[in-house]
């Protein structure tokens, strides 16, 4: 079935190859130089078979059972011309001859009376009906050949995609009946009294053959260079015919074709040389050139690298979820910024401010991981004044979210809906931002964690320093010079003085990475130029350091309800989980935060401090003196321009200090 679908769309594949070539290439292919045309004779063998589902055609004698097709070997050959149309693509046209003889058999057993040796026994006699078809075609083949590799051995490797139009030049058959078993069974004696086990019962030309056949070919061609413009070619193609051989039988040939050939290219003639025009000398005027100062320039060279390969485990916090979908005013249509297809869960903090986009697929993933989970969708509005449609609008919003969750595979039995004029925990209606936040559907997850930490995740990094030699030309010492590596987004600023300069770096590694390259860059804003040098390091040559648990990147964000400093049951569970995973003796920084809708600047400061204090008290209650706790007001704010960002700012942030 897969093969049939592939062959059905192979013309489209050919068109895609041509389109891609036209988009990315404009000059002749390097392996063939300045070639303008090529002649390509070739020949070879076919190993063929058929897709058949027939039991009779044009009066064929048969046992009323479908014929089975068998493999047959044949030959093919032809001559082709090629034109380069793109940098890696050739358009070809050729005419060829192919023999596609076919063999079909059908077996049937009948009870017959055995009278030999005085016996009179009924036995089953197995007969085989065989049809040998002699088929030969003249085939016209337009094709596309695309260079996959410029050189495999000493020539290019190309892909081939072609259409084939077949004209039958021979189409006849012979039909034979034979006795297969038992060994003493024969046909009835002929007119001369001869008893035979095989006889021809039909034959002749096919009267119902199709006058024109259509098929496709696809495969690979390897070229070995044997002369300046000559290549010895070997190609393997798969042929399939979409047209039946006969109009009254379901019979489509296919074959694997192997061919050898010689490809002769014609190169472009060099342009004729123009005659040299002798121009009498002209006395040039004297030009006085004023000396200008040399332009500023800089040079950087890496002279030494010292680093350690660090491996081990690290503890990360998953990106916080804003478990709500926000709507436009008076609308029950889910905005287009929300994803409706499954996405990979990203645990980095960088994804937190955009995690709202994947909230619905993330909720679906939680249900898949926790089959007993239940989802409650609480639809709400911004109040009767702002959205007079009221509770009916809230109901439509909840149903819209339910429809997307169902399309993501969440069972309808796991989802229930509620609706109210305002949310259970409404934001301040006096602010436009508060009314924007109340136009939402809250997603309540029961019997499953909404957020959890990722523990003992393996990591590998290279940490160390580079020694560089920087040379500056015509750059004032007072101008700044920025130094950075390809592993870091931040740069170090130093004075613009030539000499030795060190750069510290930490490079994260991919799993199973064997080596890595690092770039060092010096940039002068005065000169508007940068100088770069690279160093490649094989990892197994570095000293190694095993780290039991790395917590540098642990950054947990736990959300609170609007204008509240009370820890939710879910936040308490996450803090318990964190307390169990973090090593004893760690110093934890707890930073409280609030958003602009909470009130005055003084109120925001009080609320941020209360959230941090509530978290500190709970951690002391569950962990005793396991950690050193420090509280502060969070300055790492999310964007206040979106309701999701404001929800994330109603939070505390927990980080591990060294």
Q: Report strand pairing: 213-225 vs 198-205.
A: unpaired
DSSP collapsed to 3 states, 598-646 = HCCHHHHHHHHHHHHHHHHHHHHHHHCCCCEEEEEECCCCCCCCCHHHH
pLDDT value at residue 59:
66
Which among 32, 35, 34 is positioned nearest to 266, based on CA atoms?
Answer: 35
- pTM for the whole structure: 0.47
Which among 470, 476, 469 is positioned nearest to 296, based on CA atoms?
Answer: 476
Q: Is the pLDDT of residue 646 over 80?
A: yes
Cβ density class 202-235: b for 16+ within 10 Å, e for less? beeebeebbeebebbbbbebbbebeeeeebebeb
Distance CA 367, CA 411 (A): 9
pLDDT value at residue 44:
94
Q: Is the pLDDT of residue 26 over 50?
A: no
Between 248 and 319, name the one with better pLDDT: 248
Per-residue pLDDT tens digits for 269-311: 666 666 666 666 666 666 666 667 788 999 999 999 999 998 8
For 272, the token pair is 């004729």
pLDDT value at residue 13:
45
Highest mean pLDDT among 42-46, 203-207, 493-497: 42-46
Which among 231, 213, 228 is positioned nearest to 140, based on CA atoms?
Answer: 213
Query: For residues 575 and 615, is the Cβ–Cβ distance under 8 A?
Result: yes
Q: How confident is the model at residue 87 (pLDDT cuts 50, 70, 90)?
A: confident
Q: What is the DSSP string of 464-477?
A: EEEEEEEEEES--T
Distance CA 100, CA 76 (A): 9
Task: Give the residue carrying structure tokens 């290549």.
Answer: 231
Could you tell me where the beta strands, DSSP code E, fall in 182-296? Answer: 198-205, 213-225, 230-241, 251-267
Cis link prior to 182 (omega < 30° from 0)?
yes
Distance CA 504, CA 522 (A): 14
Per-residue pLDDT tens digits for 114-158: 766 566 677 788 888 888 999 999 999 999 999 999 888 888 999
pLDDT value at residue 348:
43
For 508, the token pair is 């994260």
Helix (H, G, I), strand (E, B) or coil at 22: helix
pLDDT value at residue 343:
57
Output Rg (C-alpha) for the chain, integer angstroms: 40
Residues above pLDDT 90, as percent of the chain: 41
pLDDT value at residue 451:
74
Q: How confident is the model at residue 510 (pLDDT cuts 50, 70, 90)?
A: confident
- In the DSSP assignment, the letter for residue 495 is E
Q: How confident is the model at residue 57 (pLDDT cuts 50, 70, 90)?
A: confident
Per-residue pLDDT tens digits for 324-372: 999 999 999 999 989 988 654 444 444 445 667 889 999 999 999 999 9
Per-residue pLDDT tens digits for 408-439: 999 999 999 999 999 999 998 888 999 999 99
| Distance (Å) of CA 230 to CA 88, 142, 200 | 18, 22, 50
Average pLDDT, the chain: 84
pLDDT value at residue 17:
42
pLDDT value at residue 15:
47
DSSP collapsed to 3 states, 421-462 = CCCCCCCCCCCHHHHHHHCEEEEEEECCCCCCEEEEEEEEEE
Query: For residues 75 and 69, is the Cβ–Cβ distance under 8 A?
Result: no
Q: Which residues neighbour 180 within 8 Å (Cβ) at sequence distance 6 or greater?
A: 107, 126, 127, 128
Stretch 577-606: mean pLDDT, rounded?
87
Task: Give the residue carrying structure tokens 């489509």.
Answer: 252
Q: Rounded to 5 degrees, what angle do the CA atoms 173, 176, 179 make?
A: 160
pLDDT value at residue 431:
87
Distance CA 531, CA 481 (A): 11
pLDDT value at residue 637:
82
Stretch 396-415: mean pLDDT, rounded?
95
Specify the range with the lowest mean pLDDT, choosing from 90-94, 215-219, 252-256, 264-268.
264-268
pLDDT value at residue 640:
85
For 103, the token pair is 């063999």
pLDDT value at residue 488:
77
Query: For residues 415 and 402, is the Cβ–Cβ distance under 8 A?
Result: yes
Q: Is the pLDDT of residue 402 over 80?
A: yes
Stretch 39-46: mean pLDDT, rounded?
93
For 319, the token pair is 């990106």
Q: How confident is the model at residue 319 (pLDDT cuts 50, 70, 90)?
A: confident
Neighbours of 366 (CB within 10 A): 22
pLDDT value at residue 599:
75
Q: Is the pLDDT of residue 189 over 80?
A: no
Helix (H, G, I), strand (E, B) or coil at 17: helix
Which among 394, 387, 335, 378 is positioned nearest to 644, based on CA atoms?
Answer: 335
Query: For residues 509 and 461, is the Cβ–Cβ distance under 8 A?
Result: yes
Query: For residues 223 and 42, is the Cβ–Cβ distance under 8 A?
Result: no
Q: Rounded to 5 degrees, what angle do the CA atoms 593, 594, 598 make?
A: 160
Query: For residues 366 and 450, is the Cβ–Cβ distance under 8 A?
Result: yes
For 564, the token pair is 């509240």
Helix (H, G, I), strand (E, B) or coil at 16: helix
Distance of CA 602 to the CA centre of its chain: 51
Which among 430, 424, 425 is positioned nearest to 599, based on CA atoms?
Answer: 430
Distance CA 620, CA 612 (A): 12
Which among 451, 397, 473, 412 is positioned nearest to 648, based on CA atoms?
Answer: 451
Per-residue pLDDT tens digits for 91-124: 999 999 999 999 988 888 878 777 665 666 777 8
DSSP collapsed to 3 states, 64-98 = CCCCEEECEEEEEEEEEEEEECCCCEEEEEEEEEE
Query: For residues 487 and 440, is the Cβ–Cβ distance under 8 A?
Result: no
């Amino acid at each position: 079935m897969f093969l049939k679908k592939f062959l059905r769309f192979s013309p489209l594949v050919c068109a895609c190859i041509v389109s891609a070539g036209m988009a990315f290439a404009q000059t002749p292919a390097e392996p063939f130089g300045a070639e303008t045309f090529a002649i390509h004779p070739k020949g070879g063998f076919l190993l063929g078979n058929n897709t058949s589902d027939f039991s009779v055609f044009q009066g064929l004698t048969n046992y009323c059972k479908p014929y089975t097709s068998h493999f047959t070997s044949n030959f093919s050959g032809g001559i082709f011309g090629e034109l380069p149309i793109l940098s890696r693509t050739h358009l070809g046209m050729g005419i060829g001859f192919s023999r596609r003889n076919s063999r079909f058999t059908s077996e049937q057993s009948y009870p017959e009376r055995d009278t030999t040796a005085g016996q009179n026994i009924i036995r089953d006699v197995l007969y085989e009906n065989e049809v040998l078809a002699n088929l030969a075609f003249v085939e016209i083949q337009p094709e596309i050949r695309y260079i996959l590799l410029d050189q495999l051995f000493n020539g290019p490797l190309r892909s081939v995609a072609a259409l084939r139009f077949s004209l039958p030049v021979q189409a006849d058959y012979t039909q034979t009946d034979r006795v297969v078993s038992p060994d003493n069974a024969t046909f009835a004696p002929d007119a001369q009294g001869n008893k035979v086990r095989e006889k021809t019962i039909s034959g002749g030309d096919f009267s119902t053959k199709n006058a024109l056949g259509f098929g496709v070919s696809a495969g690979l061609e390897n070229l070995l260079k044997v002369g300046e413009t000559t290549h010895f070619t070997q190609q393997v193609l798969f042929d399939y015919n979409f047209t039946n051989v006969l109009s009254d039988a379901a019979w489509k040939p296919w074959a694997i074709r192997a061919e050898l050939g010689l490809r002769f290219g014609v190169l472009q003639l060099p342009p004729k040389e123009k005659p040299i025009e002798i121009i009498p000398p002209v006395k040039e005027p004297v030009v006085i050139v004023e000396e200008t100062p040399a332009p500023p320039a800089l040079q950087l060279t890496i002279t030494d690298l010292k680093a350690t390969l660090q491996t081990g485990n690290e503890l990360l916090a998953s990106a916080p979820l804003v478990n709500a979908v926000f709507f436009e005013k008076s609308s029950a249509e889910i905005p287009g910024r929300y994803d409706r297809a499954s996405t990979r869960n990203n645990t980095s903090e960088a994804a937190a401010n955009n995690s709202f986009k994947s909230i619905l697929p993330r909720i679906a993933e939680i249900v898949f991981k926790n089959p007993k989970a239940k989802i409650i969708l609480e639809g709400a509005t911004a109040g009767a004044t702002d959205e007079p449609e009221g509770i009916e609008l809230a109901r439509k919003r909840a149903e819209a979210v339910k429809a997307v969750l169902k399309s993501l595979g969440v069972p309808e039995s796991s989802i229930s809906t509620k609706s109210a004029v305002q949310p259970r925990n409404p934001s301040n209606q006096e602010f436009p931002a508060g009314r924007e936040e109340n136009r939402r559907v809250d997603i309540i997850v029961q019997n499953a964690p909404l957020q959890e930490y990722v523990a003992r995740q393996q990591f590998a990094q290279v940490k160390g320093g580079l020694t560089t030699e920087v040379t500056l030309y015509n750059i004032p010492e007072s101008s700044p010079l920025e130094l950075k590596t390809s592993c870091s987004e931040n740069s170090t600023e130093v004075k613009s003085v030539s000499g030795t300069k060190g750069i510290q770096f930490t490079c994260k590694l991919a799993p199973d990475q064997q080596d890595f390259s690092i770039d060092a860059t010096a940039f002068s804003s005065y000169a508007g130029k940068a100088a770069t040098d690279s160093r490649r390091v094989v990892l197994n040559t570095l000293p190694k350091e095993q780290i039991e648990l790395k917590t540098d990147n642990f950054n947990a964000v736990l959300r609170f309800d609007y204008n509240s400093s009370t820890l939710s049951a879910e936040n308490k569970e996450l803090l318990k989980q964190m307390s169990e995973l973090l090593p004893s003796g760690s110093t934890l920084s707890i930073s409280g935060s609030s958003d602009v809708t909470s009130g005055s600047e003084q109120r925001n400061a009080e609320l941020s401090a209360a959230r941090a204090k509530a978290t500190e008290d709970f951690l002391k209650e569950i962990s005793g003196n396991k950690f050193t706790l420090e509280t502060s007001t969070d300055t790492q704010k999310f964007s206040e321009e979106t309701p999701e960002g404001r929800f994330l700012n109603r939070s505390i942030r927990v980080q591990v200090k060294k």
